[in-house]
Amino acid sequence: MKPSVTPISSRDKILEVAEVLFARRGYAGVGLREVAEQAGLGKSSLFHHFKSKDALYGEVLGQVLGRIRAVLDPIVGSDVTPELRLEAWVDGLVDVLATYPCAARLLMRALVEDDPFGPELLEVNAAEQVLAGILEGIHGLLDDGVRQGVFRDMSIPHSVQTLIGATVYHFASGEFGENLLGQPLVSSDAVRRHKTELVRMLQHGLLA
């Protein structure tokens, strides 16, 4: 019998704990000592797997963005009306953000940074590319809808911003959001509710 928990490589373990820590306290708020401790390694051993803190951060970000893109790409490429595609896009994004609770915070932190992705670094540029792909997808989706007359005329960039804000921020809001809601952000009830509210807002606004 194989062990029920597959042992993972040190590299993956580092990525795993770094993801949690960067999400919780941001790039500058995390020291590699703590990452190493939680990964069960000496601090210096990190540098065997990642050549710098920036590189580690870039890989963490790229990994998270990759998971998101893997969910959204099939949706924007699917063969249904823009209206249904948008609904599925929101549904998929909310699901993936609720599934990986670090994702929203990492992404929100990155988007709010001055220089969104840090230095000119291989790992970092890769992450940027993935994000660009995601944006292209939702931009194209909205554009389709407008050109087919399904969506009203709109400023697509502003609507993309609104979509990001309404979805990513919500799951990035941590304790604050949970206090507001009175329940965990990722509880199945809260997730369902949030989807409903978003879709209704996108379809008909707030008016009765």
H or E element at residue 114 = none
- 65, 131 Cβ separation under 8 angstroms: yes
Q: Which does 207 bind (CB under 5 to 8 A by kind): DNA, its own copies, none?
A: its own copies
Tokens of 96: 């993936």
Angle at 96 between CA 199 and CA 188, to 5 degrees: 70
Does 11 interact with its own copies (rule: CB under 8 A)?
Answer: no
Task: Provide, rounded to whole angstroms, the least separation between the CB of residue 11 and its own copies.
Answer: 26
Does 28 interact with its own copies (rule: CB under 8 A)?
Answer: yes
Does 125 interact with its own copies (rule: CB under 8 A)?
Answer: no
Contacts to its own copies from residues 137-166, by CB under 8 A: 145, 149-152, 154-155, 157-162, 164-166
Does 43 interact with DNA (rule: CB under 7 A)?
Answer: yes
Phi-psi region of 121 (alpha: psi -120 to 50; beta: other; left: phi over 0): beta
| 106 CB-contact burial (10 Å; exposed 0-12 / middle 13-18 / buried 19+) | buried
Applying CB under 8 A, which residues contact its own copies?
24-29, 83, 86, 105, 108-109, 111-116, 135, 145, 149-152, 154-155, 157-162, 164-170, 172-177, 180-182, 193-194, 196-198, 200-208
